[in-house]
């Protein structure tokens, strides 16, 4: 009989996913020596090597690959069992895992706060990352609900629109275009445009918008956060395309302005997404309903197809 613990399997699953002891430790909020010790004990109980170090890289052995697959499936079953039990408990207690794209983190904490005020017994864990990481968490069942501007394509997810998210062009108030009542889209050819990193929904929406209009732009620095984009624009390094929901403070204090560019804002939406076969806990169902209360129509849809010129993928 294989005498291993769920904790060991969970740790090994993270090591296999990241291919790194240190990154697995960071994800699990453990020290690297603690992770290494658990993997060593797991190998002793299995009686075979599960990982091997080649230079600075960590690789799974054949036995490790096999065990990682089983560990992932066991983790899914444990999560489903937990959700079923939480449903029986109701909302007095419960766990809710959320994965949110970084731009949505400007609006989601307020929604979490209002939900928590009504359901203080629900413990919420929040992962904030770019779209690729969030969708990977959804696919691997490491989150109950995901919030993104562009749901994944396919029939294995349910996506519901709960809030609009317009993209605007920002500039420092001293920029020459800031004084114009209207800015032609073609005028942006003469400007440096700061962009988010690859994998960002904002960048994908921006690029699609300009490609559909046959406009080639000068792109400057590639920056990993909305805050970095805002700081760079304030410093005069270029213009930025960003969610209007991320610049409320900067507009109030006069540090940034929104340019009246032809064709803007780009209309996007926020979606709450879950896997079709996912058994949502009472907490997850309640939080989804809380989000949809911001969208009276409660629009439910598969990932939207491209329709019209004003809507872009997020």
Q: Kindly write down the DSSP assignment for every residue of 168-186, as one continuous string.
A: EEEE-TTSGGGG-S-B-GG
Where residue 233 falls among pLDDT bands split at 50, 70, 90? very high
- Does 299 have pLDDT greater than 50? no
> What is the pairing mode between strands 239-243 and 192-196?
parallel
- Check for a shared fold between 6-74 and 167-259: no
Determine contact, residues 257/178, Cβ cutoff 8 Å: yes
pLDDT at 91: 64
Phi/psi at 243 (nearest 5 deg)? -65, 135
pLDDT at 171: 95
Where residue 229 falls among pLDDT bands split at 50, 70, 90? very high
Mean pLDDT, the chain, rounded, equals 85
What residues form DSSP beta bridges with 157? Answer: 275
24 alpha carbon, distance to own chain's centre? 19
Determine contact, residues 145/274, Cβ cutoff 8 Å: yes
> Is 167-259 CATH 3.20.20.70?
no
Report the 10 Å Cβ neighbour count for 198.
10
Which CATH number is 6-74 given? 1.10.10.10
Q: What is the mean pLDDT of residues 98-102?
A: 92
218/304: higher pLDDT: 218
> What is the pairing mode between strands 269-275 and 257-259?
unpaired
Domain residue limits, the chain: 6-74, 92-164+269-301, 167-259
The Cα 104–Cα 226 span in angstroms is 11
Which of 92-101, 183-192, 291-300 is the least confident region? 291-300
pLDDT at 88: 58
- Does 289 have pLDDT greater than 50? yes
With CA atoms as reference, report the closest residue to 218 among 246, 190, 245, 237.
190
Q: Which CATH class for the 92-164+269-301 domain? A: alpha beta
DSSP class of 306: P
The Cα 27–Cα 20 span in angstroms is 11
Q: Which two tokens stand for residue 235?
A: 């410093």
Note the residue count of the chain.
Answer: 314
């Amino acid at each position: 009989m294989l005498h291993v613990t769920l904790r060991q399997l969970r740790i090994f699953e993270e090591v296999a996913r990241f291919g790194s002891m240190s990154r697995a430790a960071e994800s699990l909020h453990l020290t690297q020596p603690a992770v290494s010790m658990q993997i060593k004990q797991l190998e002793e109980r299995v009686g075979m090597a599960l990982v091997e170090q080649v230079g600075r890289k960590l690789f799974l052995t054949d036995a490790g690959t096999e065990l990682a697959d089983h560990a992932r499936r066991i983790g899914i079953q444990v999560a489903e069992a937990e959700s079923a039990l939480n449903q029986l408990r109701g909302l007095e207690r419960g766990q809710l895992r959320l994965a949110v794209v970084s731009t949505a983190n400007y609006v989601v904490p307020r929604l979490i706060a209002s939900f928590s005020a009504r359901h203080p017994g629900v413990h919420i864990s929040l992962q904030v990352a770019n779209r690729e990481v969030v969708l990977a968490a959804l696919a691997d069942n490491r989150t109950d609900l995901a919030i993104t501007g562009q749901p994944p394509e396919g029939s294995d997810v349910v996506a519901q629109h709960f809030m609009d998210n317009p993209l605007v062009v920002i500039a420092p108030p001293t920029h020459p275009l800031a004084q114009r009542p209207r800015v032609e889209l073609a005028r942006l050819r003469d400007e440096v445009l700061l962009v988010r990193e690859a994998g960002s929904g904002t960048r994908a929406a921006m690029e699609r918008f300009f490609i559909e209009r046959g406009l080639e732009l000068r792109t400057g620095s590639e920056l990993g956060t909305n805050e970095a984009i805002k700081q760079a624009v304030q410093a005069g390094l270029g213009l930025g395309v960003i969610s209007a929901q991320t610049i409320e403070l900067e507009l109030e204090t006069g540090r940034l302005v929104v340019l009246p560019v032809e064709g803007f804002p780009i209309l996007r939406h926020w979606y709450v997404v879950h896997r079709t076969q996912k058994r949502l806990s009472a907490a997850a169902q309640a939080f989804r309903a809380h989000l949809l209360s911001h969208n009276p129509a409660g629009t439910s849809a598969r990932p939207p197809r491209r329709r019209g010129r004003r809507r872009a993928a997020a």
